[in-house]
Amino acid sequence: MNDTLHQLHCFGCGARIAGAEAQPDFRCVHCGDLFEVEYPGWGKRDGHDRPNPGALKWLWRERRCSSEAVDRSGVWRFRELLPILDSFGDVVTLREGNTPLYHLKRASKALGIDQLYAKHQGMNPTGSFKDTGMTAAMSVAKERGFEWVACASTGNTSAAMAAYAARAGLRCLVLIPEGKIAWGKLSQAMDYGAVTCQMPTDFDGCLRLLTQVVKEAPIYLLNSVNPYRLEGQKTPAFEIAEAFGWNVPDHVIVPGGNLGNSSALGKGFRELHELGLVARMPRISVVQAAGANPLVRSFKEHHATALEPVEAHTRASAIRIGNPASWRKAARVIQDTGGWCLDVSEAEIAIAKAEIGAEGLGCEPASAVTLAGLKKLRAQGKIASGETVVLVLTGHTLKDADYTINFHRGTLLKEDEIAGLEAEIAGLRRDAVAVDATPAAVLATLKGSVR
Ligand code: F0G
């Protein structure tokens, strides 16, 4: 870990410490809040460590043609903006990042927004955006000589951590809420060799427990309270800006769970702006599931000055989180960029997910809250037709195949959840049909299919 170029800055009381001084739970000893990585050299105009925007843009593009693993990673390609390691030669990478930005043709048309895109973070090596953060924090863990790493998870963090730990040759411990994570994700943790503890509690309970465990044993905590995770997770902001020729979109819409990702993307865009790589920030909006919406409530009831934990319920299990750790950081991002914080119902999530599926992209339910949220913002007149919008799709559709199959079979949602939306849902469902094994039966099925 390179302690000369970066320091940790407490988000609550402003205390500054060296990276090596961080507590095992990454909480500030003075106020209990979380840290952000800060690069003091960047603040000095013409300072030796201040990156040069023109040179960086050229260098980052050139690296796309390189055959070096560190250059082919969509995180480490931008390493000048995350100088956290002593040596980039030993990064733990699976060639994460460099994910596609797709035009959403059907949704564009339906919503009357020409420039509507999906940044598909589900196209990362383990199928979620967590890989971009894991390569960064796992590389720090390895450099610092840890043997064990650990996380509490709703599934994707554990899948990513297990893969990167295996690549790094480290052991890993996963705490998950029993019966509450998607099979695809659990299978990944098993496959990559994690020690997986299923516990009779929720995600928030798992994280609370793990915080105690890491204080008693030399285990490196890899939840997004670890500020180095967020350094990796800020890089999709760089990719988005680069894809638009260093003109940022008007809106970026992100799902909200533990709220690390929205914080990280906000930090990424803020740094690009402060360093003069882009002229402005996009509005960043966070969408939660209505049954797991503590940040939405915090905005409504306390102007985001306090957050009361909720008992979380949603089928979008990735964001079934009632006491998000990074809520203050995310609230600041929304406020500073003029974005919104809103929630969407279970039926709205399911419909949006099916619509993203019908674009040939697919995503997991938690990712679909972005399109559901966009529809609401558009209906409220908060997003104009000429504006450019990027939805951040956080996970791959195969992560939670049960959810998709149940939707198409009509067994996902309860009657009271779909009241008034029956026709819309029926138009999206594509259940498999049992057909006789004859050409005539197959052709008859084609005739009967609607588009
Ligand atoms: N989307 C997906 C697919 C996720 O897995 C998560 C979080 C989020 C969105 C929310 O991101 O927490 O940074 O606000 N999953 C974590 C996990 C909590 O354990 O895999 P966030």
Query: In the numeric block, which tokens belong to residue 66?
Result: 């390189």
> Tokens 């295996």 correspond to what residue?
166
> What is d(CA 278, CA 126) in angstroms, rounded to the nearest whole number?
30
Specify burial of residue 204 (Cβ count, 10 A radius: 0-12, 13-18, 19+).
Answer: buried
Residues 229/133, Cβ–Cβ less than 8 Å: yes
Please give the chain's pLDDT, 451 residues, in tens: 788 899 999 999 999 999 999 999 999 999 999 999 999 998 876 666 778 999 999 999 999 999 999 999 999 999 999 999 999 998 999 999 999 999 999 999 999 999 999 999 999 999 999 999 999 999 999 999 999 999 999 999 999 999 999 999 999 999 999 999 999 999 999 999 999 999 999 999 999 999 999 999 999 999 999 999 999 999 999 999 999 999 999 999 999 999 999 999 999 999 999 999 999 999 999 999 999 999 999 999 999 999 999 999 999 999 999 999 999 999 999 999 999 999 999 999 999 999 999 999 999 999 999 999 999 999 999 999 999 999 999 999 999 999 999 999 999 999 999 999 999 999 999 999 999 999 999 999 998 776 6
Residue type for position 154: T
Q: How many CA atoms lie within 13 A of 75 on its CB side?
A: 33
Say what the pLDDT of residue 1 is.
75
Could you give the angle at the alpha carbon of 338 between the alpha carbons of 99 and 129, nearest 5°? 20
Query: In the numeric block, which tokens belong to residue 1?
Result: 């870990």
Ligand 1 in reach of 211 Cβ (< 6 A):
no
DSSP letter for 123, please: G
Residues 90/72, Cβ–Cβ less than 8 Å: no
Spacing of C-alpha 243 from chain mean position:
19
Residues 99/68, Cβ–Cβ less than 8 Å: no
**Which residue's CA lies nearest to atom 11 of ligand 1?**
257
Rounded to whole angstroms, what are the CA distances from 344 to 12, 362, 436? 30, 19, 41
> What is d(CA 275, CA 435) in angstroms, rounded to the nearest whole number?
61
DSSP string, 41-106: GGGSTT-TTS--HHHHHHHHHHGGG--SHHHHSTTGGGGGG----S-GGG---S------EEE-HH
Spacing, Cα 154 to ligand 1 middle (Å): 7
Say what the pLDDT of residue 2 is.
80
Q: Are strands 16-17 and 7-10 parallel, antiparallel or unpaired?
A: antiparallel
Strand partners, 119: 101, 392
Torsion of CA 430, 434, 439, 444, to 10 degrees: -60
> What is d(CA 249, CA 329) in angstroms, rounded to the nearest whole number?
21
Ligand 1 pocket test, pick from 203, 258, 367, 369 with the greatest ligand atom count within 8 Å of Cβ, gives 258
Ligand 1 in reach of 257 Cβ (< 6 A):
yes
Q: Are strands 101-103 and 341-344 parallel, antiparallel or unpaired?
A: unpaired
Residues 173/150, Cβ–Cβ less than 8 Å: yes
Strand ordering across the sheet containing 16-17: 16-17, 7-10, 35-38
Residue type for position 237: A
> What is d(CA 121, CA 399) in angstroms, rounded to the nearest whole number?
13
> What is d(CA 319, CA 230) in angstroms, rounded to the nearest whole number?
17
> What is d(CA 67, CA 70) in angstroms, rounded to the nearest whole number?
9
Q: What is the pTM of this model?
A: 0.97
Spacing, Cα 234 to ligand 1 middle (Å): 14
Question: Quick one: which atom of ligand 1 is closest to the CA of 395?
Answer: 3
> What is d(CA 35, CA 263) in angstroms, rounded to the nearest whole number?
12
Say what the pLDDT of residue 448 is.
76
Q: Which residues contact 113 (CB under 8 A, 6 or more apart)?
A: 107, 378, 383, 385, 387, 389
Residues 277/56, Cβ–Cβ less than 8 Å: yes
Ligand 1 in reach of 339 Cβ (< 6 A):
no
Residues 338/283, Cβ–Cβ less than 8 Å: yes
Ligand 1 pocket test, pick from 319, 349, 364, 392 with the greatest ligand atom count within 8 Å of Cβ, gives 319
> What is d(CA 180, CA 158) in angstroms, rounded to the nearest whole number?
13
> What is d(CA 26, CA 10) in angstroms, rounded to the nearest whole number?
10
Closest CA to 262 of 139, 129, 164, 365: 129
Question: Quick one: which atom of ligand 1 is closest to the CA of 233?
Answer: 13
> What is d(CA 418, CA 195) in angstroms, rounded to the nearest whole number?
40
Question: Quick one: which atom of ligand 1 is closest to the CA of 366?
Answer: 1
Question: Quick one: which atom of ligand 1 is closest to the CA of 261?
Answer: 13
Ligand 1 in reach of 258 Cβ (< 6 A):
yes
> What is d(CA 256, CA 423) in angstroms, rounded to the nearest whole number?
29
Residue 232 sits at φ, ψ, to 5 deg, of -70, -40
